Amino acid sequence: MKPYPRQAGRKRWRWIAGALLALTLLPVLYLWWLLLSPGGYSLPAGFELAPATGEQQVFVYGTLRNALVRRLVLGRPVATEEAFLPDYRKQGLDIEPQPGAGVHGEVLTLEPPGLRRLDRYERLGIRYERVQATLGDGRQVWVYRRLPQWQPAA
């Protein structure tokens, strides 16, 4: 028995609504898994850093300069200040030493839980390492640098 034309139209709209819902939920679930879930990331063995205590300053030069991305990653808005990292140049998703060059970015001031969230976002030990660097004004900050296996082929 054929469905009435009205029923066929409803089925089509239900399918479209379901597809739109799935397309909306998939990115949200992916971001949850990537940024917040307990199962999405664990620090690789042998890559432990000394536990951070007190406020930590982190120089960011890429996607974390975007306030919306910072809010998603850190779970709250975080103020930044403009900063300059001398003797480095931006190369794609990384920075590399280059005397006389410099990278403009921003500095975030975070407590240890915020730093752990950044480590998770940057996939510390998998894609990036966190190293100390000196800004143009002399402050010591953390900066994320790509690990060699993630460097583009020369």
Note whether 2 and 67 are same-domain residues. Answer: no
The answer to the question of residue 46 being in a domain is no
Note whether 94 and 145 are same-domain residues. Answer: yes
Domain tally for the chain?
A: 2
Which of 32-36, 80-84, 94-98 has the lowest average pLDDT? 32-36
Note whether 61 and 130 are same-domain residues. Answer: yes
In this model, does residue 150 exceed pLDDT 60? no
Q: What is the pLDDT of residue 27?
A: 84
The answer to the question of residue 119 being in a domain is yes
Note whether 73 and 133 are same-domain residues. Answer: yes
pLDDT 10s digits, 110-135? 999 899 889 888 888 888 999 999 99
The answer to the question of residue 1 being in a domain is yes
The answer to the question of residue 9 being in a domain is yes
Helical ranges in 65-143 per DSSP H: 67-74, 112-121
CB 64 within 8 A of CB 21: no
Note whether 35 and 60 are same-domain residues. Answer: no
Note whether 114 and 89 are same-domain residues. Answer: yes
pLDDT 10s digits, 10-66? 778 888 888 888 888 888 788 777 666 656 677 777 777 777 788 999 999 999 999
Exposure class string for 33-42: b at 16+ Cβ within 10 A, else e: eebeeeeebe
User: Which residues, including other chains, have CB under 8 Å from residue 21's CB and lie 6 or more apart?
Assistant: none
Q: Report the CATH number that the domain containing residue 124 is assigned in CATH.
A: 3.10.490.10
Note whether 18 and 90 are same-domain residues. Answer: no
Note whether 32 and 60 are same-domain residues. Answer: no
**Rounded mean pLDDT of 91-96?**
89
Note whether 5 and 67 are same-domain residues. Answer: no
Note whether 4 and 60 are same-domain residues. Answer: no
Note whether 62 and 122 are same-domain residues. Answer: yes
Q: What is the pLDDT of residue 89?
A: 95
E-strand ranges in the chain read: 56-60, 80-91, 94-110, 128-134, 140-146
Which residue segment(s) compose the domain that 109 sits in?
A: 56-150
